[in-house]
Every structure is written in C-alpha cells, then in structure tokens.
Amino acid sequence: MEFRSPEFKTRAVHALHDANLQKALSNTKAGFVVKRAQAAAEMPEFEALRDTAAEIKNHVLANLDHYLEKYEAAVTAAGGHVHYATDAEDARRIILGICKKANAKRITKGKSMVSEEMGLNEALIADGYEVVETDLGEYIIQLADEPPSHIIAPAIHKTKDQVADLFAAAHNKPRKTDRAELVAEAREVLREKYFTAEVGITGGNFLVAETGSSVIVTNEGNGDLTQTLAKVHIVTSGIERVIPTLDDLSVFLRILARSATGQETESYTTFSTGPRREGDIDGPEEYHVVLLDNGRSKMLGSRFQDMLRCIRCGACMNHCPVYGSIGGHAYGWVYPGPMGSVLTPLIKGMDGTYDLPNACTLNGRCKSVCPVRIPLPDLLREIRHNQFRQDMTPKRQKQALKLWRYVAERPKLYHFAERIGVRILASMANGKGKLRSLPFDPGWTGARDLPAPTGRTFLELWQAKRGDK
C-alpha cells in the first residue's frame, strides 16, 4: 500500500468536500456508535471484561517470547509451520516462497490488515498471481483499485450507487441497485474462485498459545471458505496477537463484536489448528503462519507498549470526530483514525507523519470506548512531545506556543486578552451566532461554521451569576 501520510492536510481538505464520501460517512457513523452503546449497556459485566482483557494483554506482552514459543510448538505439533518476519519485505519473501512451492496461480484472501501492512497484494500480483479478495468490502475496493478506509468496514466510504457502478463494469451484467441483489451477485462471482484457488490467505484475530489455533471472526463466512478449500492456508498476523488459553479467548470474543459493530457476537468464529488430518473431510494440505514484527518489538518496554494491546475492533475511529469527518483515506496508510495516528509514526517513522497525531483534538472518546483501555490520547500526546524534542514542530507553531505560554503564565494579561478576543469575535458575528470565516485561520471554517461567543467570557458570566466583583 502506497504511503501517502505526508499528504494528510491536502487529502483531508479533499475529503471534506467530497460529496459521495460525506454521504457515505453520514449514513454509517451514527450506527456504530449507537449500537456499541446499546450492546455495552445490555452486558452488566462489560466494563469488568475490559479490565480483564487489558490485564491479559499486559501479561502476554510482559512474557511475549514465552507465549510465542509455546504457540509455535503447538502449531508444529499440529503439523503446521510458523515463520517469523522481521519486516514487511521479509514477510513478502516468505509468502511468495510458499506460493511458488505450491505452484499457485490463483490466491483467495480474507480480510487482513497485516497483509495490507506487508504490501502483500501488490507483491503477489507483480509476481504473476491472480489475487481475489473475498471479504465483500475488500472485494469492492479491489475493483475500485483503492485501499481500505476502515479496518473492519473497508468500503465504508462507498455509496450503494458507486458499488452498483463497480459491479456493472466488472461483472458485465445489468446494473443492480438493490443491496440484496448486489450481495448475491458478488457471492455468485466469488464462489467459483474459492474452488479453484491453490492458496488461501487469511488474517488472525487471535492466536491461542495453548492449542496452536488461529482464530478469525467474520460476518460473511468468506474466511471459512478461503482457508478450507485451498490446498495451502497461510495465516498472516502480528506477533502481539497471541493469547495464552481458550478461556482467555472467551473474554476477547465477548467484547470484540460489541465494541466493533454492536453485535453480541460475530456470525462466524472460526478456529484453525494445523492442516487437514487423517479422516478430515476438508481442510488444507499445508498450514503456515507468518508472524510479522515490523517495529512491534521496539514498542515492548517503551511508553508505547500499551498500543500492542489493540485488537483491531475499530471502535476508536467509529467514535472519532476527525475520522468521522474525513474518513480513512486521508490518513494515507493502512491504519486510520486514532490507532493509526499512533501506529503509523511508530511503524513508518516520524518523517512524513507529523500531521497525524496533531490532527487529533484529544477529546478522549477513543480512550473511553477502547475495549482494552489503550490510553490513545496520552500516546498521541507523547508522539507530539517526541516531535517537539526532535525539533520537528514548525517554526510558526513554536512561536505561537511561546506567545501562548507567555500570556498564560500571567493571569491578568490572559483574562484581559480573553475579554478582548471574545468581544471581537462576537462583533464579527453581527448577532448571527456564528462565524462563516476566520480571517486569521480560515482552515477552521473551511467546511463548517464556528459558533460565536456571546460577548463575555465564561469567567465573567460565572462571576455575574455568583454576584462576584
């Protein structure tokens, strides 16, 4: 996937004025939030489960080498193979080698953000393989030649009409506009691909050290067909996705769907443990797990270790006002939203990612809904501190911060400036209650109005209410 995070500001402005994108976002962003709140409220132990999940993850990260070795031993005992990839290039090399050995021509894929991180599709296609995404959202954006814009709903930025146009062009069939008919058409086209693919690649939501199982959760069943019908099954996952036992897994399964889509559980929770055994009626002949590091081990023991607790539910971006306004493509790489604004600088480096953590308003909604209680605002703030320490902050911004500090350390001057400021803004509104533009910072009002102050500061209003001088 092309790295375009340096273009964040330009892409964000474009997103704000993209009518189709804004329509798609408005149709979906409220649903995730409401459904998640309802699902959490209906489970009295939900908050306790969040605490338990965070504790399990912290324990695993403190003993990650032990659990990876235990997982590898269990996979090997079941007849599978575990491969460790230091970075994306190493992962691509390993997977291309497996596909070549299998004499593959067609490869089916379930949704896997780690494979996006690897740049896997591009590498496979460049090597002459036919790659077919089988998750409906991933299939849609593959037809559109676009990357995912959300980690659980990759085509969330597409409207129904846009999908209808893509299907009509790709399938050479009459254009349909009914959602059920569009789904049926995709199912018909994809079904033949499952039966003729030599290799099936899936992600791994969880890796169970106790049994050597990889676990995927889906709502379409495409993952089951991808990993069952192909001769070779390849699991792609990050090294941090291992958990100790099946009992631990049950904790995460109870919070994952509720946090992601507001469901009690996903439609399919699928366990894969090695290749087909004697007597099995189906399953792959070979089973491989490719575990990607790609900077994760550097986070261990650092201020950013908490980020490795992430279970990729998407709750943080569902509740993020910035993501809700600009969508995922503006972030310019695999992981959008709050979690991406932390992960992208840590994985890709600080160069070219300056704007991501600085776009955040630090409102804290992401932290309040994260199922494993990752303190995302704190991590974003820490990245900002690192940028400042590395002298990456623009000169104009530094000067503004120095001026603000000078004023803020002098209460009388601060309150005087505050009184002048609110009166000027109130007069600019001409009694309309809002400002259509700000001459000194037009970016704030480029896509929205700014509510105008009434003409008095909060402190003045509070003192008047109390009768203070």
Give this prediction's pTM.
0.92
Residue with tokens 């994985």: 347
Q: Does residue 20 sit in helix, strand or coil? A: helix
Q: Does residue 139 sit in helix, strand or coil? A: helix
Contact 28, 327 (CB under 8 A): no
* % of the chain with per-residue pLDDT over 70: 99
Structure confidence by residue, pLDDT tens digits, 309-329:
999 999 999 999 999 999 999
Contact 315, 36 (CB under 8 A): yes
Closest CA to 20 of 178, 157, 146, 141: 157
| Sign, Cα dihedral of 290, 316, 375, 322 | positive
Integer Rg of the chain from CA? 25
pLDDT reported for residue 68: 98
Contact 390, 350 (CB under 8 A): yes
Q: Please state, in angstroms and rounded to a whole number, the distance separating the CA atoms of residues 179 and 160.
A: 7
Residue with tokens 């998640």: 36
- The residue ranking higher by pLDDT, 439 or 434, is 434
For residue 243, the cross-strand partners are 208
**Mean model confidence pLDDT for the chain:** 94
Phi, psi of 454 (to 5 degrees): -80, -15
CATH superfamily name and code, 5-298? NagB/RpiA/CoA transferase-like (3.40.50.10420)
Q: Identify the band that residue 444 occupies on the pLDDT scale cut at 50, 70 and 90.
A: confident
- The yes-or-no verdict on residue 44 having pLDDT over 90 is yes
pLDDT reported for residue 57: 98
- The yes-or-no verdict on residue 135 having pLDDT over 90 is yes
How many CB atoms within 10 Å of residue 458? 11
Q: Identify the band that residue 254 occupies on the pLDDT scale cut at 50, 70 and 90.
A: very high
Structure confidence by residue, pLDDT tens digits, 58-86:
999 999 999 999 999 999 999 999 999 99
Average pLDDT estimate for 6-15: 94
- Extents of the domains making up the chain: 5-298, 399-466
Q: Which two tokens stand for residue 54?
A: 């965070």
Q: Does residue 416 sit in helix, strand or coil? A: helix
pLDDT reported for residue 290: 98
- The yes-or-no verdict on residue 128 having pLDDT over 80 is yes
Half-sphere exposure of 159 (CA within 13 A, CB side): 12
Structure confidence by residue, pLDDT tens digits, 328-382:
999 999 999 999 999 999 999 999 999 999 999 999 999 999 999 999 999 999 9
DSSP 277: P
- The yes-or-no verdict on residue 469 having pLDDT over 70 is no
pLDDT reported for residue 397: 87
Structure confidence by residue, pLDDT tens digits, 378-418:
999 999 999 999 999 899 888 988 999 999 999 999 999 99
Contact 287, 82 (CB under 8 A): no
| Sign, Cα dihedral of 352, 92, 283, 214 | negative
pLDDT reported for residue 448: 81
Half-sphere exposure of 58 (CA within 13 A, CB side): 10
- The yes-or-no verdict on residue 241 having pLDDT over 90 is yes
Structure confidence by residue, pLDDT tens digits, 152-182:
999 999 999 999 999 999 999 999 999 999 9
Which helix (DSSP H) or strand (DSSP E) does residue 175 occupy?
A: none
Closest CA to 296 of 59, 55, 64: 64
Q: Which two tokens stand for residue 457?
A: 């500061």
Q: Identify the band that residue 446 occupies on the pLDDT scale cut at 50, 70 and 90.
A: confident
Closest CA to 147 of 286, 340, 319: 340
For residue 296, the cross-strand partners are none
pLDDT reported for residue 216: 97
Half-sphere exposure of 271 (CA within 13 A, CB side): 12
pLDDT reported for residue 29: 66
**Alpha-helical runs (H) found in 198-332:** 222-229, 246-260, 296-299, 315-318, 321-326
Q: How far is CA 98 from the centre of its chain?
A: 28
Q: Which two tokens stand for residue 105?
A: 């021509």
- The yes-or-no verdict on residue 142 having pLDDT over 90 is yes
pLDDT reported for residue 50: 98
Q: Which two tokens stand for residue 441?
A: 């910072």
Residue with tokens 């009434």: 454
Q: Does residue 28 sit in helix, strand or coil? A: helix
Read off the amino acid at residue 324. Answer: G
Average pLDDT estimate for 10-38: 89
- The residue ranking higher by pLDDT, 60 or 461, is 60
Structure confidence by residue, pLDDT tens digits, 176-208:
999 999 999 999 999 999 999 999 999 999 999
The answer for 433, left when phi > 0, alpha when psi is -120 to 50, beta otherwise, is: left
Crossing angle for the helix pair 179-196 and 160-171, nearest 10 degrees?
Answer: 40
- The yes-or-no verdict on residue 118 having pLDDT over 80 is yes
Q: How far is CA 173 from the centre of its chain?
A: 33
